[in-house]
Amino acid sequence: MIPVSEKSNATILGVGTANPPTFVDQNTLPDYYFRITKSEHLVDLKPKFARMCKSSMIDRRYTTITEEVLNEHPSIGAYNAPSLNIRQELLDIIIPQLGAEAASKAIADGPASL
């Protein structure tokens, strides 16, 4: 145990962030979302969703789900379809990659010497 007199505060040495490589511009999200989820027949919901997107003040939506992934795993975009395991398997691949990218940026951003 470290004596109280020798304790020191934790120090943040660097901060790194990482985003998935795929993104959708917020202003095109309603059309994109309704198309990839095959929900274009829900014409009453699309204008409401478009208003929500416009008022959200978000420019880009980063995602790990691409159209190719949705085509390979249609249950991801299907209403009430079981897709948790598929989503988890996809995240098991991308999350460590994003973590490594963020850590590399944090190390590069940190102090030159400790």
Does the residue 5 lie in any domain?
A: no
**What is the Cα–Cα distance from 98 to 109, expressed in whole angstroms?**
16
Nearest to 32 by CA among 72, 75, 63, 58: 63
pLDDT value for 113: 45
Dihedral, 16, 57, 65, 50 alpha carbons, nearest 10: 180
How many structural domains compose the chain? 1
Does the residue 105 lie in any domain?
A: yes
Beta partners for residue 24, in sequence order: 61
CATH number of the domain residue 53 falls in: 3.40.47.10
What is the extent of the structural domain holding 69? 19-109
Does the residue 99 lie in any domain?
A: yes
pTM, two decimals, is 0.68
pLDDT digits (tens, 9 = 90+) for 45-73: 999 999 999 999 999 999 988 889 988 99
